[in-house]
Structure 1
Amino acid sequence: MSTAGVAGRRRAGRVAAAVVAGLLAVGTAVFTAPAAGAADTAPTRAAVFTRGADPGPRVVTLTMDADWYTPGDVPRVLQILRDNGITAGFGLTGRYVERYPDQVRAIAAAGHKLINHSYDHPAFTGLTSTGRADQLDRAEAAFRRLGLGTDGWFRAPYRDGYLDDGVRADLASRGYWISYDWTFDTTGYRGAGTEVILDRVRRYTVPGAIVLMHLSSESTDTAALPAVIATLRGMGYGFTDPYRSVTRGAIGLHWAALGGRGSVLGVPRTEERVATTAGTAVQWFAGGRVYWREGTGAHEVHGAIGARFVELGSVTSYLGFPLTDETPTPGRTGAYNHFDGGSLYWTPGTGARSVYGAIRAKWASLGWERGFLGFPVSDEVGVVAGRASQFQGGNVYWSATTGAHEVHGAILSRYLALGGTAGRLGLPVSDEYPVPGGRRSDFRGGWLRWDAATGVVTAGYA
Structure 2
Amino acid sequence: MFRQVLAPIAAIALVTAPVTAHAAPGLGSAGSQEETGQHSGDSGLGEGTNLTDPASTAAPQESDAPAQAPTDASDGSVPVAAAQTAEVSIDAAADAVTVLGVTWDSSGTVPTTVEYRVLDEDGSAGAWVEIEALAGEGPDPGTAEAGGARTGTEPVIVAESADIEVRIDRGDADVQTTTTSVTAADEDLAAQADSGAGAAAPTPSAPTTAASRANAANAPLSYTTRAQWGADESLKKCEPDTTSANRAMVVHHTAGATSYTKAQVPGILRGILSYHTQSLGWCDVGYNMLVDRYGTVYEGRAGGPTKAIVGAHASGFNTGTFGVSVMGTYSAAAPAAAVDALGRVGSWQADLWNYDPTANVTLTSGGGTSKHTEGKKVSLPRVFGHRDTSATECPGAGLYGQLSQVRSKAKAGRTGTGFPVPGEIGKFYEKNTSKTGKPIIAQRCGMTDDGCFQRFEKGSVHWSKASGAHFTKANSGVQNAWKRYSYERGRLGYPTGEEFALKDAAGAVAQHFQGGTVVWSSATAGRPLVGAVGRKWKALGWERSQLRLPRTDEKCTLTRGGCYQQFQGGSIHWTAKTGAHETRGAIQRAWGTQKWENGRLGYPTTDEFKSGSTIRQNFEGGYITWSSTDGATIRYS
TM-score range, shorter chain: 0.5 to 0.7
Q: Which residue does 1:25 correspond to in 2? A: 15
Q: Which residue does 2:634 correspond to in 1? A: 459
1:249 alignment partner, one of 415, 418, 423? 423
Q: Which residue does 1:339 correspond to in 2? A: 513
Q: Which residue does 2:364 correspond to in 1? A: none
Matches within 5 A, 1:122-141: none
CA gap of 1:284–1:204, structure 2 versus 1, over 3 A, is closer
CA gap of 1:372–1:301, structure 2 versus 1, over 3 A, is same
Q: Which residue does 2:251 correspond to in 1? A: 158
In 1, Cα distance between equivalents of 2:588 and 2:408: 77
Aligned amino acid, residue 414 of structure 1:
A
Q: Is the 8 A contact 1:301 1:325 kept in 2?
A: yes
Query: SS of the counterpart of 1:241?
Result: coil
In 2, Cα distance between equivalents of 1:171 and 1:311: 36
Aligned amino acid, residue 425 of structure 2:
I
2:559 alignment partner, one of 376, 384, 389? 384
- CA-CA distance at 1:425 after TM superposition: 0.8
Q: Structure 1 stretch 212-221 or stretch 366-375: which is displaced more?
A: 212-221
Q: Which residue does 1:73 correspond to in 2? A: none
In 1, Cα distance between equivalents of 2:426 and 2:312: 29
Aligned amino acid, residue 320 of structure 1:
G
Question: Are residue 408 (structure 1) and residue 588 (structure 2) matched?
Answer: no
Matches within 5 A, 1:137-286: 154-158=247-251, 163-164=309-310, 240-243=415-418, 245-259=419-433, 263=435, 267-278=439-450, 280-285=451-456
Query: SS of the counterpart of 1:459?
Result: strand
- CA-CA distance at 1:223 after TM superposition: 10
In 2, Cα distance between equivalents of 1:286 and 1:213: 17
Q: Which residue does 2:502 correspond to in 1? A: 329
Q: Is the 8 A contact 1:289 1:301 kept in 2?
A: yes
| Higher gyration radius (CA) | 2
In 2, Cα distance between equivalents of 1:153 and 1:287: 23
Q: Which residue does 1:422 correspond to in 2? A: 598
In 1, Cα distance between equivalents of 2:51 and 2:20: 12
- CA-CA distance at 1:282 after TM superposition: 2.1
Aligned amino acid, residue 40 of structure 1:
G
In 1, Cα distance between equivalents of 2:598 and 2:548: 25
Query: SS of the counterpart of 2:493?
Result: coil
Relative to the length of structure 1, the TM-score reads: 0.57
Aligned amino acid, residue 312 of structure 1:
Y
2:525 alignment partner, one of 322, 328, 351? 351
Q: Which residue does 2:46 correspond to in 1? A: 40
Greater helix proportion: 1
Question: Are residue 441 (structure 1) and residue 534 (structure 2) matched?
Answer: no
2:205 alignment partner, one of 45, 57, 61? 57
CA gap of 1:192–1:400, structure 2 versus 1, over 3 A, is same
C-alpha RMSD over aligned residues: 5.2
Query: SS of the counterpart of 1:298?
Result: strand
In 1, Cα distance between equivalents of 2:621 and 2:317: 62
In 2, Cα distance between equivalents of 1:31 and 1:372: 49
Map Cα deviations across residues 168-224 of structure 1 (whole Å, 9 max, x no partner): 9x9999xx8xx799999xxxxx6876xx599869x9999999699976998668999
Map Cα deviations across residues 209-244 of structure 1 (whole Å, 9 max, x no partner): 969997699866899999x98xxxxxxxxx85342x
Aligned amino acid, residue 269 of structure 1:
I
CA gap of 1:30–1:182, structure 2 versus 1, over 3 A, is farther
In 1, Cα distance between equivalents of 2:541 and 2:317: 49
Q: Is the 8 A contact 2:52 2:446 kept in 1?
A: no
Q: Which residue does 2:489 correspond to in 1? A: 316
- CA-CA distance at 1:384 after TM superposition: 2.2
Aligned amino acid, residue 335 of structure 1:
V
Q: Which has the higher contact order (CA 8 A, sep 6+)?
A: 2
Query: SS of the counterpart of 1:439?
Result: strand
In 1, Cα distance between equivalents of 2:348 and 2:310: 25
- CA-CA distance at 1:421 after TM superposition: 0.7
Relative to the length of structure 2, the TM-score reads: 0.43
In 2, Cα distance between equivalents of 1:400 and 1:364: 19
Q: Which residue does 1:100 correspond to in 2? A: none
Map Cα deviations across residues 398-428 of structure 1 (whole Å, 9 max, x no partner): 1112111111111111211221111111100
In 1, Cα distance between equivalents of 2:215 and 2:325: 13
Map Cα deviations across residues 357-382 of structure 1 (whole Å, 9 max, x no partner): 22112111111122111111112212
